């Protein structure tokens, strides 16, 4: 069905302008063209002497007389009218289906410039009329040929900014020299001789430059990210090496301190043992001397009761000298044994290096 429809459309279309036939004419080979299209084709330099069909290339000499194909013209007229009615009906149905209650302009919406009373929401703005329209009041722009060339854009409240203040024409050109939007009349006036391009071309160029800058910036940032990652890895390696080195040093210090502690402990215990041995020897000697003194004291006590004075004096002379008196003179005891030198050496280890 679609294939047949496509064939039918091809049969009523001009193969030169590719549109529906206007003032259709049929040449001797049977192919149909617009009157102006086939005339213009045959008026070319290479077709002035011998005319040919643009489709089948059949030649005609002399140049055929072109007569309007009345049947084809009536068929096209009927088809065009039917299509127009269908479009109007479709648009009308679409408008009727939209609930008006949901189309009223609210805060932040663009109002229709034609509506009276409570205004509907505008759906488009016309850059030629400098007005905004709702769905209902937009229909003349679709239906009337007078509005065919009007430029419609998304509804906007800033229409005046799109119009040249000097010529009241649409701003469609960009002046690179003055870096501002202008209209076509400005190109012939104030901006004559300037570097100008269409607004669309300038936008395309800006987007291209932005794209290139964006890619360059992304590349630079990715390079910086790579450098930062490398720095992080280096930091981690350095920190791990420092931790391992410090652990090794502290382990050696702890081992050294442990050894020194054992040495100091053994030294203190050895000195303690030596001093205790000397003290115990002296204590034993003193105990023996005390026992001997007590024994002599008892003998003297007993001798003091004798009435033989000569015997007393003779016996007293042999007992008057205390035993071990000479030895006592050479024995000394330090009652305040100190390890200050040892403690000083140990305290030195606390001081930070």
* pLDDT surpasses 90 at 15: no
**218 lies in some domain:** no
- Comparing CA positions, the residue from 138, 152, 147, 145 lying closest to residue 95 is 138
Same domain, 93 and 113: no
State the burial class of residue 112 (Cβ atoms within 10 Å of its Cβ: 0-12, 13-18, 19+).
buried
Q: What is the pTM of this model?
A: 0.34
Question: What is the predicted pLDDT for the residue at 5?
Answer: 45
Residue 43 sits in a domain whose CATH number is 3.30.40.10
Q: Tally Cβ neighbours within 10 Å of residue 110.
A: 21
**Residue 105 or residue 274, greater confidence:** 274
Number of domains in the chain: 3
Q: Residue 285 corresponds to which tokens in the numbers above?
A: 């000697």
Highest mean pLDDT among 80-84, 145-149, 155-159, 198-202: 198-202
Burial of 249-283, coded b for 16+ CB within 10 Å and e otherwise, reads: eeeeeeeeeeeeeeeeeeeeeeeeeeeeeeeeeee
Q: What is the token pair recorded at 2?
A: 């679609």
Domain that holds residue 332: 236-348
Same structural domain for residues 124 and 86?
no
350 or 162: which carries more pLDDT confidence? Answer: 162
Q: What is the DSSP letter of 196?
A: E
pLDDT band at 3 (very low <50, low <70, confident <90, very high): very low
Q: Residue 118 domain-assigned?
A: yes
Asked if residue 93 and residue 168 are part of one domain, the reply reads no
Question: 3 or 169: which carries more pLDDT confidence?
Answer: 169
CB 120 within 8 A of CB 93: no
223 domain residue, yes or no: no
Residue 320 is predicted with a pLDDT of 60
Q: Is 220 domain-assigned?
A: no
Q: Coil, strand or helix: which one is 260?
A: helix
Residue 210: inside a domain: no
- Same domain for 338 and 245, yes or no, is yes
Q: Report residue 54: phi and psi, to 5°.
A: -60, -20
* List of residues 6+ apart from 186 with CB closer than 8 A: 164, 166, 167, 173, 175
Residue after which a domain boundary falls, among 153, 181, 201: 201
- Using DSSP's 3-state secondary structure scheme, residue 63 falls into coil
Q: Can you give the pLDDT at residue 46? A: 62
Taking each helix axis from N to C end, the angle separating 199-303 and 309-319, rounded to the nearest 10 degrees, works out to 160
Within-domain flag for 282: yes
pLDDT classification of 93: cutoffs 50, 70, 90: low
* Domain end among 69, 97, 125: 97
264 with 334, same domain: the answer is yes
The values of phi and psi at residue 182, to 5°, are -140, 170
pLDDT of residue 321: 56
Residues 322 and 240 in one domain: yes
H helix or E strand, kind and range, residue 33: strand 32-34
pLDDT in tens, 180-231: 999 889 988 889 899 999 888 999 999 998 989 999 999 999 999 999 999 9
Lowest mean pLDDT among 44-48, 138-142, 250-254: 44-48
> Both 278 and 316 in a single domain?
yes
Q: Lowest-pLDDT range, 96-100, 179-183, 299-303?
A: 96-100
Is 102 part of any domain?
A: no
126 and 186 share one domain: yes
Closest by CA position to 321, among listed 296, 294, 291: 296
Identify the domain boundary among 97, 130, 151.
Answer: 97
> How crowded is residue 150: how many other Cβ atoms within 10 Å of its Cβ?
13
The answer to whether residues 61 and 114 belong to one domain is: no
Residue 207 lies in a domain: no
Residue written as token pair 């202008």: 182
Q: Is residue 77 located within the same domain as residue 120?
A: no
Q: Tell me: the pLDDT tens digits for 234-243?
A: 999 999 999 9
pLDDT in tens, 305-342: 777 777 777 776 666 655 554 444 444 555 555 667 76
Whether residues 240 and 344 fall in one domain: yes
CATH code of 147's domain: 3.30.160.60
Is there a single domain that holds both residue 89 and residue 133?
A: no
């Amino acid at each position: 069905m679609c294939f047949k429809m496509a064939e039918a459309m091809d049969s009523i279309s001009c193969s030169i302008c590719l549109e529906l036939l206007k003032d259709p004419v049929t040449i001797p080979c049977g192919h149909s063209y617009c009157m102006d299209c086939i005339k213009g084709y045959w008026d070319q330099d290479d077709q002035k002497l011998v005319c040919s069909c643009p489709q089948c290339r059949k030649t005609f000499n002399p140049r055929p007389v072109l007569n309007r194909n009345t049947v084809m013209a009536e068929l096209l007229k009927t088809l065009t009218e039917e299509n127009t009615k269908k479009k109007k009906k479709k648009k009308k149905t679409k408008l009727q289906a939209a609930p008006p209650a949901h189309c009223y302009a609210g805060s932040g919406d663009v109002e229709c410039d034609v509506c009276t009373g409570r205004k509907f929401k505008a759906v488009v703005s016309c850059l030629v009329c400098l007005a905004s329209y709702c769905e209902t009041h937009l229909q003349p722009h679709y239906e009337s040929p007078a509005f065919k060339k009007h430029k419609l854009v998304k509804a906007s409240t800033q229409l005046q900014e799109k119009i040249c203040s000097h010529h009241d024409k649409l701003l469609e050109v960009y002046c690179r020299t003055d870096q501002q939007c202008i209209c076509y009349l400005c190109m012939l006036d104030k901006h004559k001789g300037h570097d100008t391009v269409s607004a669309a071309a300038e936008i395309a160029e800006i987007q291209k430059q932005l794209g290139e800058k964006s890619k360059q910036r992304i590349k630079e940032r990715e390079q910086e990210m790579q450098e930062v990652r490398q720095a992080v890895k280096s930091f981690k390696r350095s920190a791990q090496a420092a931790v391992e080195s410090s652990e090794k040093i502290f382990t050696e210090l702890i081992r050294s301190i442990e050894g020194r502690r054992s040495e100091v402990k053994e030294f203190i215990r050895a000195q303690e043992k030596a001093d205790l041995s000397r003290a115990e020897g002296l204590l034993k000697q003193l105990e023996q001397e005390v026992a001997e003194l007590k024994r002599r004291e008892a003998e003297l006590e007993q001798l003091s009761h004798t009435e033989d004075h000569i015997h007393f004096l003779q016996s007293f002379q042999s007992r008057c000298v205390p035993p071990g008196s000479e030895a006592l003179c050479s024995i000394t005891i330090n009652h305040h044994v100190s390890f200050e030198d040892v403690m000083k050496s140990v305290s030195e280890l606390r001081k930070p290096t």
